[in-house]
Structure 1
């Protein structure tokens, strides 16, 4: 079972590999050096889309429940907890402090009702 999941993850990631030049530019950028400008890319480089096939492997780090991808906001949504994790440059930022609340919490709801 684990081998099958690993091979599916590997095959889905194979299609998202960057060209060697793009990888080198990211490494230069991460090290603080300025990469040469490429005329075919925008100011931040090519936008990478999130691969929904990864939802098979990703779960909320807080509840360990599956997440839903919302393309309009480019976020992974946890309906149960009412939080949304942003996806930046095709990479989900699943740090709980980076998540935003999608609905008011129970204390806020109780205060609004009274």
Structure 2
């Protein structure tokens, strides 16, 4: 039996899977219905409880959620994973660098 954060994560995944099956079964939605079509609408909320179980796939370190950019931040590596429609994209190729290497900074200071 799952407990604590694992139970919340499993519940969130089940709810997400159930919702995606309904969308696929009903076919694509019109563009006017899509959550991202209205520029004034806020992005889907990220469930902060997932931070208890999510770690960076590269360093296996905990992540921090940045509300202003809607990203999960790995301070150690200096990378940010985007959160799209409330779902974190944890693919390393999708991450963006948020700071340069110390070596590059030192070269520029010379």
Shorter-chain TM range is 0.7 to 0.9
Matches within 5 A, 1:62-81: 62-81=58-77
* TM-score, normalisation: structure 1: 0.71
Indicate which of 84, 90, 94 corresponds to 1:94.
90
RMSD between superposed Cα atoms in Å: 3.4
1 or 2 for the larger relative contact order (CA 8 Å, sep ≥6)? 2
Aligned residue number for residue 32 of structure 1: none
Give 4+ residue runs of structure 1 displaced > 6 Å after superposition.
none
Q: Distance in 2 between matches of 1:39 and 1:25?
A: 15
Structure 1 SS opposite 2:106:
helix
Q: Distance in 1 between matches of 2:26 and 2:91?
A: 23
Larger Rg: 1
Tell me the CA shift for residue 43 of structure 1: 2.6
Stretches of structure 1 that go unaligned for 5 or more consecutive residues are 30-34
* TM-score, normalisation: structure 2: 0.73
**Count of aligned positions:** 106
